[in-house]
């Protein structure tokens, strides 16, 4: 029963269902006006072939009466705040009466020869906008049955004979197409709903990350008091532990920022403000920020610009994340005594920078999935857990893409990796 009473994911609640119902009632008025006028005109002009005006007027009166009845019923239900099941029943009953009315139209218009069978699409589409999958298919099956029935009855009434195989097949073909329309409508609505759910989840992740950043920033503040000796001098061991906690907190903040930026990209809310920037200075600053932790790991890092013209159009804040992620990765996946080399090249059109390490390297089959979300390198020689969200390279690739640039990787297991970023000098400003 729950399946029966489930609404389409498109419908946000009882009030929305009511509004949609009222909209469909309005559409029914317009259709009645157009089809009724058309039918009456045909009845007057083509007296011999068209159904009698009396029959058409009877149909118009019936449909107008049931539409008025449902209009009033919907308003009464709204005023009395009836249970959602009642609203669904009202809507479903209308859809059934629509199919019955359309069937009568088809009958009056010539049974299987009538083109009015296309009207069956309407209740199916209305149904897919209101109900869950089970009722959409019920509507399609009911339409199929009704169309088949009226076509059959029409032939029997007119010719007093069973329809021939050709007309049965033709009717069956059109009737089956209702199922296909139901499938298509259901599929399109599900697709839209899925996208909405994904966006809502991303929104939640974004909000949660924002909330996480504030306490993490407070921890950073308190730890800095301890490290600065503002609340008394620490012994060497306490100082070492406080320093480790401070480094971990920095990693935590970077992870939160990565998650937030990926959420911003998904929600199309990432602010991109490119301007001519000296990439050499930017890289130098990021390298400098990494010096301490790279030194602690027993690794070394060097940076060399091989071009004089180091100006290029980038968003400095975003490009800083790219350089930071690449250097951070190179260090994470290199062992003790690891050597990281950052180089900057350029020609008239492009600026390239590369981050090279002599770390664990990446096997060819793993390189393809490396830039996907939550990817990790498993074929490495390191046994300890490497911190990271698995979002760093995905975010890097997306940020480079925003700059109209590209990212290339050359890597061999146990030898190391070279990540090269190519950026058009002025493309980002266009």
Residues near other proteins (CB under 8 A): 210, 213-218, 220-222, 224-225, 228, 230, 253, 257, 271, 273, 317
- Alpha-carbon distance of 318 to 142, in angstroms, equals 56
Residues in Cβ contact with 377 at an 8 Å cutoff, skipping those fewer than 6 apart: 333, 360, 362, 366, 370
Quote the DSSP letter at residue 359: S
Nearer to other proteins, 98 or 324 (CB): 324
- Alpha-carbon distance of 226 to 241, in angstroms, equals 10
Nearer to other proteins, 31 or 234 (CB): 234
Nearer to other proteins, 225 or 374 (CB): 225
Per-residue DSSP letters for 120-169?
GHHHHHHHHHHB-HHHHHHHHHHHHHHHHHHHHHHHHHHHSSPPPHHHHH
Nearer to other proteins, 113 or 218 (CB): 218
Least distance between other proteins and beta carbon 397 (Å) = 22
Nearer to other proteins, 392 or 416 (CB): 392
Identify whether the C-beta of residue 171 lies closer than 8 Å to the C-beta of residue 112.
Answer: yes
SS3 content of the chain, % helix, strand, coil (to 5): 65, 10, 25
Nearer to other proteins, 166 or 215 (CB): 215
Residues in Cβ contact with 358 at an 8 Å cutoff, skipping those fewer than 6 apart: 334, 338, 339, 415, 416
Least distance between other proteins and beta carbon 202 (Å) = 17
Least distance between other proteins and beta carbon 267 (Å) = 13
Least distance between other proteins and beta carbon 207 (Å) = 12
Least distance between other proteins and beta carbon 198 (Å) = 23
Per the rule left: phi > 0, alpha: psi between -120 and 50, beta: everything else, 337 is left
Least distance between other proteins and beta carbon 273 (Å) = 5
């Amino acid at each position: 029963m729950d399946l029966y009473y489930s609404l389409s994911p498109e419908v946000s609640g009882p009030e929305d269902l009511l509004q949609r119902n009222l909209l469909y009632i309005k559409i029914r008025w317009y259709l009645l006006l157009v089809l009724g006028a058309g039918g009456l005109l045909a009845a007057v002009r083509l007296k011999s072939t068209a159904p009698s005006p009396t029959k058409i007027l009877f149909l118009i009166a019936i449909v107008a009466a049931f539409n008025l009845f449902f209009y009033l019923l919907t308003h009464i239900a709204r005023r009395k705040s009836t249970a959602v099941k009642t609203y669904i029943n009202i809507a479903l009953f209308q859809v059934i009466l629509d199919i019955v009315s359309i069937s009568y139209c088809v009958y009056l218009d010539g049974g299987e020869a009538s083109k009015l069978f296309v009207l069956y699409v309407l209740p199916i589409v209305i149904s897919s906008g209101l109900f869950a999958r089970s009722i959409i298919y019920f509507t399609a099956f009911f339409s199929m049955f009704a169309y088949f029935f009226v076509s059959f009855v029409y032939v029997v009434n007119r010719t007093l004979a069973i329809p021939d195989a050709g007309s049965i097949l033709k009717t069956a073909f059109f009737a089956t197409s209702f199922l296909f329309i139901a499938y298509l409508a259901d599929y399109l609505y599900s697709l839209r709903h899925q996208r909405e759910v994904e966006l809502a989840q991303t929104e939640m992740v974004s909000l949660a990350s924002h909330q996480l950043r504030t306490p993490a920033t407070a921890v950073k503040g308190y730890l800095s008091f301890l490290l600065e000796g503002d609340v008394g001098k620490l012994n060497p061991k306490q100082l070492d532990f406080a320093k480790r906690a401070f480094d971990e907190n920095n990693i935590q903040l970077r992870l939160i920022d990565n998650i937030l930026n990926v959420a911003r990209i998904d929600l199309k809310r990432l602010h991109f403000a490119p301007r001519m920037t000296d990439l050499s200075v930017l890289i130098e600053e990021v390298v400098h920020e990494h010096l301490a932790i790279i030194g602690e790991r027993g690794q070394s890092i060097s940076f060399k610009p091989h071009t004089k013209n180091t100006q290029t159009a980038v968003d400095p804040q975003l490009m800083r994340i790219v350089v930071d992620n690449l250097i951070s990765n190179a260090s994470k996946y290199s062992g003790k005594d690891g050597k990281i080399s950052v180089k900057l090249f350029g020609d008239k059109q492009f600026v390239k920078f590369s981050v090279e390490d002599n770390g664990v390297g990446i096997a060819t089959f793993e390189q393809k999935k490396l830039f996907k979300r939550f990817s990790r390198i498993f074929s490495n020689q390191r046994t300890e857990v490497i911190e990271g969200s698995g979002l760093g390279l995905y975010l890097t690739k997306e940020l480079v893409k925003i700059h109209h640039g590209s990212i290339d990787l050359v890597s061999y297991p146990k030898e190391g990796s070279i990540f090269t970023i190519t950026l058009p000098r002025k493309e980002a400003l266009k």
